[in-house]
Chain A
Amino acid sequence: MFRLTIEKSLNHLINANNIDLTHIDNKIVSFRVDEIDLTLFFLCLNSRIFVIDNQQNKKVDVSVTLSKASFLAIFKGASLEELVENEEIEINGSVNTAQQLANLLSSSSIDIEELISQYAGDIVAHQIGQAFRQIKKASVGNDGSIINTIKDEITTALIAPSRSKIFKGRA
């Protein structure tokens, strides 16, 4: 839904304003936001933008690695060159091509903060699910009581989080 929302907003903007995309035609630009484990691939073809989650081994023309704050700043019109100068983002490939796409993102009506919070919510849900699965797994082989295992885990998590299975393997 995250990508679909961005894709729809960008294409609405392009169609409503007859925006010429020839300068980024047939190009793949990726944005990688490590903090929230998000990578978006923007592919421009047939006068429209596709937002995909996997470049399917195709060559990425421009890759942008940035923080969550810089990603939000782009949607508010921040210049990529300035962000590069301030060492807030890293760009491999043509800055000009990336800037063309950034201009589209900033001109769109995407409420990126809302989208990010939903996306982060998904991660929280995923982590809760993962923790629950770990607890369930841990209960098998002990005394078999899931309630006791949950109690023990909550106690461990509160007293010594580093020893808790809930947080195990999560740096």
Chain B
Amino acid sequence: MAKTTHFGYKEVDVEKKQGLVKGVFDSVAGKYDLMNDVMSMGTHRLWKNYTISSSNVKEGDHVLDIAGGTGDLAIKFRKKVGPEGKVILSDINGSMLLEGRKNLLNHGVIDVDFVQANAESLPFEDNTFDCVSIAFGLRNVTHKDAALKQMHRVLKKGGTLLILEFSKVENKTLEKIYDLYSFNLIPKFGEFFANDEDSYQYLAESIRKHPDQETLKNMVLDAGFEFCEYHNLIGGIVALHKAIKA
């Protein structure tokens, strides 16, 4: 296994990446939702709604939301699974989980379990969940292959994996505009709204280092999923990969 990996555009020791990512999310946790709204101009809500619509989740289902952060998806999943269902919000970062707990309480949602866990070694039994989701989290995982295998392991047969993540813009003109926006404006927004330019510089860089749509699809299939397809949102700025364990 490689001894170095990327942290944004920097090459760092594999063992250090997790701590560095933790530092980023410790720093941004309190302003995470605000920054999402500012950076995406609110469209992250539409992307998440689309993810829920694509989930095929029904009453009684068990859902695991990995890197669930402030709990936007967990709140929506909770409504879909009904009283017989179960939703677990997991995140490797304690600060994000605390924000998630506050956010869920503010929405009047109390029946979601919180688990602090590393996506590369999920503390759940095999074949437990009907749906596993990870929204804007996979690119921060050091060993994505290992995490995808874990997601496959904990899903039931017929379970659905949903990966919502920034991806590769397909249109060259849009790509140029997007590059200008993300490398120039996003760090400035970070400085202005969250007093943290560096973390948002990392965000812009980490998006470019994340596998493109086809590469990620192949990684998902290699992890054991029998079916995987993706849907580009806003020209590929974001893509939703949907995979099925058969």
Q: Which residues of A contact B (CB under 8 A)?
A: 4, 7-8, 11, 15, 26, 43, 45-48, 50, 52-56, 58
Contacts and interface: CB of A to CB of B under 8 A. Distances in A.
Given A11-B58, A46-B159, 16 more contacts: A15-B58, A15-B59, A43-B227, A43-B244, A45-B244, A46-B130, A47-B158, A48-B158, A50-B227, A50-B244, A52-B229, A52-B244, A53-B229, A56-B226, A56-B228, A58-B226
A70 to B, nearest CB: 26
A50 B58 CA distance: 13
Contacts of B244: 43, 45, 50, 52
B56 A7 contact: yes
A155 B157 CA distance: 58
Given A43-B227, A50-B244, A56-B221, A8 B53 contact: yes
B54 interface: yes
Contacts of A45: 157-158, 244, 246
Contacts of A48: 56, 58, 158
A4 B158 contact: no
B56 to A, nearest CB: 6
B156 interface: yes
Contact of B53 (A4, A52, A56): A4
A56 B221 CA distance: 10
A48 B158 CA distance: 8
Interface string B40-66: 000000000000011010110000000
The prevalent SS among residues of B at the interface is strand
22 contacts: A7-B56, A11-B56, A11-B58, A15-B58, A26-B246, A43-B227, A45-B244, A46-B156, A46-B158, A46-B159, A48-B56, A48-B58, A48-B158, A50-B56, A50-B160, A50-B227, A50-B244, A52-B227, A52-B244, A53-B229, A58-B227, A58-B246
A7 B156 CA distance: 19
Contacts of A46: 130, 156-159
Contacts, number: 43
Interface of B: 53-54, 56, 58-59, 130, 156-160, 221, 226-229, 244, 246
A48 B130 CA distance: 11
A86 to B, nearest CB: 34
A54 B242 CA distance: 12
B239 to A, nearest CB: 15
Nearest to B58: A15
Nearest to B59: A15
A96 B54 CA distance: 29
A52 B56 CA distance: 13
A26 B157 CA distance: 10
Contacts of B229: 52-54
A17 to B, nearest CB: 13
A52 B242 CA distance: 10
Contacts of A11: 56, 58
Contacts of A26: 246
Nearest to A10: B56
